[in-house]
Amino acid sequence: MDELAYQAGSSMMNTAIFGQLIILIVFVPILFLTGIEGKYVPTPWPTLLGLPC
């Protein structure tokens, strides 16, 4: 039973980490915007800080 739980958890974590990587790739460039475009720079901070949780 433990082996089955380990396999299921590890396959789920691979997918979760891949999804978090995509979110990081999308949000990191937003942090470097300036001027009017940079008006929404505070928006990705809660998302990026909440990813490790």
Task: Enumerate the domain spans of the chain.
Answer: 2-50
Q: What is the mean pLDDT of residues 19-40?
A: 79
CB 49 within 8 Å of CB 24: no
CB 34 within 8 Å of CB 42: no
Q: Please check the confidence at residue 2 and state whether its pLDDT lies above 80.
A: yes
CA-based nearest residue to 46, from 29, 33, 27? 27
Mean pLDDT of the chain: 80
- Reading the block at residue 26, the tokens are 């999308």
- Quote the CA–CA distance of 14 and 29 in Å, as a whole number: 24
Q: Pick the more confident residue, 32 or 3.
A: 3
Residue 38 pLDDT class (50, 70, 90 cuts) = low
Residue 41 pLDDT class (50, 70, 90 cuts) = low
- Quote the CA–CA distance of 11 and 13 in Å, as a whole number: 5
Q: What is the mean pLDDT of residues 24-38?
A: 77
